Amino acid sequence: MKAGCSQLKPAVLILVFNLCFYGSYQVTDLQVCELCSGAVLNGTAVGRFCSSSAGRIEGRCCLRNDNTSDPELIIGLDLSNCLLTHVEDLQRASTAVMIDLSLNPIVNISDSAFQGFIELNYMILPEDIFCPGGNTSWEKVEVKEGNRFCEGQKDTCNQTGQLSMNCPENSLCAPYGPSFFECSCADAYHGYKCLREGEFPLLQVFAPLGASTFVISLLLWLTQRRKAEPL
């Protein structure tokens, strides 16, 4: 929602943000890059993609390598030949553009495994594993050399031209991964099913939460400091 937010001064927004998330920020966890041994090789699909994108190799991941974005933003993930039988939680790589899961004895992929992967545009899977969301969720599906290639994720909201009807009135449809979509309130609407019109009371909602979070963080810090003091 944009309504309401734009009415608050930037300093107030920064204060609220710091109060709510003080002490809780953590660097992106890259454990997904270590799901199996080895590193992305230059001659692989992800390796070539990483090179053409001027990325940086970190284990089985390709990270965006520039000074204007998150230095640990995963844009490529190569988990090929990792003896994976199930694919359930790769959410740490939800920003990936390319994922290679080929050469794995996969027997099952969770329906929600790629929910939120809105940037995903190219996948390589074992031949007997279907593309996430089915063929209708991709511009091109091809089987060759024992692999299934899924290319060009479709915008689910525009597939039929009517899908936005599944969102409540006063809301907008947005893609949220292969075959998934999400609804967000249009400007000037908020609340349950976007039925409330007017500015969202951001300060009234988050200020008390931020204050309580700050107090709890302070008490925890004082407790830890007392324990650290010599008797």
Q: Where do the structural domains in the chain lie, given as residue ranges?
A: 9-27+201-231, 35-154, 156-199
> Is 124:63 a contact under the CB 8 Å cutoff?
no
Helices (H), the chain: 10-21, 45-52, 202-228
DSSP character string of 122-165: EEEEETTSPPTT-GGGEEEEEEETTEEEEEEE--GGGSSS-GGG
pTM recorded for the entire structure: 0.70
Tokens of 40: 């992305």
Residues pairing with 147 in the sheet: 126, 144
Report the pLDDT value the prediction gives residue 13, as an integer from 0 to 100: 40
From residue 70, alpha-carbon distances to 44, 64, 119, 204, 209 in Å are 24, 8, 15, 31, 27
Q: pLDDT band at 73, cuts 50/70/90?
A: very high
Tokens of 189: 């609407």
Report the pLDDT value the prediction gives residue 186, as an integer from 0 to 100: 84
pLDDT in tens, 215-229: 787 777 677 666 656
Quick one: which H or E segment has residue 116?
none
Q: pLDDT band at 12, cuts 50/70/90?
A: very low
Average pLDDT over residues 62-89: 87
84: pLDDT strictly greater than 80: yes
Residues pairing with 196 in the sheet: 190
Buried b (16+ CB within 10 A) or exposed e, 165-180: eebeebbebbbbbbbb
pLDDT in tens, 188-203: 888 888 888 766 455 4
Average pLDDT over residues 35-42: 94
Report the pLDDT value the prediction gives residue 52, as an integer from 0 to 100: 96
* Beta-carbon count within 10 A of 192 CB: 7
16: pLDDT strictly greater than 50: no
pLDDT in tens, 145-189: 999 999 999 988 865 544 455 788 888 888 999 999 988 888 888
Report the pLDDT value the prediction gives residue 2, as an integer from 0 to 100: 33
Q: Which amino acid is at 70?
A: D
pLDDT in tens, 94-134: 999 999 999 999 998 988 899 999 999 999 999 999 999 99
Report the pLDDT value the prediction gives residue 165, as an integer from 0 to 100: 59
pLDDT in tens, 22-32: 333 334 468 99
Tokens of 120: 């995903």
For the chain, the average pLDDT equals 79
Report the pLDDT value the prediction gives residue 118, as an integer from 0 to 100: 96
From residue 135, alpha-carbon distances to 78, 142, 151 in Å are 22, 10, 10
Whole-angstrom distance, CA of residue 16 vs CA of residue 3: 17
Spell out the residues 6+ positions from residue 223 whose beta carbon is closer than 8 angstroms to its own: none
Report the pLDDT value the prediction gives residue 26, as an integer from 0 to 100: 37
Tokens of 20: 């709510």
